[in-house]
Amino acid sequence: MLSLLWVAAFLMIGPAAHSQAAPGSEVKRDYVLGPGDVVRVTVFQNPDLSLETRISETGFISYPLLGQVKLGGQSVATAEKTLADGLRSGNFVRQPQVSVLVMQVRGNQVSVLGMVGKPGRYPLEAEGTKLTDVLAQAGGIAVGGSDVVVLTGQRQGKPLRKEVAVTTLFIQGGTEDPVLQNGDVLYVDRMPMVYIYGEVQRPGVIRLERGMSVMQALATGGGLTARGTEKGLRVHRRGADGKIVVLQPAMDDLVQSGDVLYVRESIF
């Protein structure tokens, strides 16, 4: 429980992000430019070659003297070299010092949906941005949200769906923190719930913790009353066909999301 609170606190620290970078903000030089990004190109001591433009859907910009130049798919540093090489090889500038500044990030974004602090679209401002980086930017998991983040997207032309248990990311040997790509979607569902009623001290709704047993669920509900009996314990569970089945569980059986635990009164 403490580890869950620690992780939640960690994820709430992240600074807010926006779908566009403020003018003059620094985007890392290994950021890969994409269609829709707005860039400002400057050449030292050559103001006529300064340009602010948007990268087209095909990845090109129209640049003075050079015409159509493909920058999409290149890092900021590589784009600077591409433009400098073009100016040098065309004998337009002898020793060009080119600077590329990303003014708006539009081409490499991920969507964060569901139970997070600030749902929305967030830029991948550096290569290798991980799930927890973007989750922190989105304000972390909101109160009432699950600790499992569902990642969907595409890898090598194939659909990807992966469930990432955030609470295990910081534990040795835990889940790997996935690297995100353009177009990925992160979704945080509501936290799974278990319902307890009957002869228990505190009937009601409790959060289903990972690996929670029937005994732990009852303990969270304060345990049985003086009139309750373990023999009268039943679990009402919805099956894959949508029908409710009634089970008589053992105390070490695991509870599932949506289970309803009912404790009958002892007849003796």
% of the chain at pLDDT higher than 90: 67
Tokens 């009164």, located at residue? 265
pLDDT of residue 27: 66
Share of the chain above pLDDT 70, in %: 88
d(CA 219, CA 120): 38
User: Has residue 107 got a pLDDT over 90?
Assistant: no
Of 31, 36, 33, which is closest to residue 125 (Cα–Cα)?
A: 31
| 192-238 confidence digits (pLDDT tens) | 999 999 999 999 999 998 889 999 999 999 999 989 888 889 999 99
Do residues 194 and 212 touch, judged by C-beta distance below 8 A?
A: yes
Q: Per-residue pLDDT tens for 54-94? A: 999 899 999 999 999 999 989 999 999 999 999 999 999 99
Q: Residue with structure tokens 């194939």? A: 158
Q: Tell me what pLDDT residue 67 has.
A: 94
Classify strands 145-155 and 67-70 as parallel, antiparallel or unpaired: unpaired
- Give the C-alpha separation, 19 to 207, whole Å: 33
Query: SS3 for 67?
Result: strand
Taken in order 211, 146, 20, 67, the sign of the CA dihedral is positive
Structure tokens given for 37: 């990004």
What does the alpha-carbon distance between residue 169 and residue 140 come to, in Å, rounded to a whole number? 14
Phi-psi region of 67 (alpha: psi -120 to 50; beta: other; left: phi over 0): left
Q: Give 61's strand partners.
A: 69
List the beta strands (DSSP E) in the chain.
38-43, 51-54, 60-63, 67-70, 98-104, 109-114, 120-123, 145-155, 158-165, 185-190, 193-198, 204-207, 228-238, 244-247, 260-265
Q: What pTM did the predictor assign?
A: 0.68
CB 60 within 8 A of CB 44: no
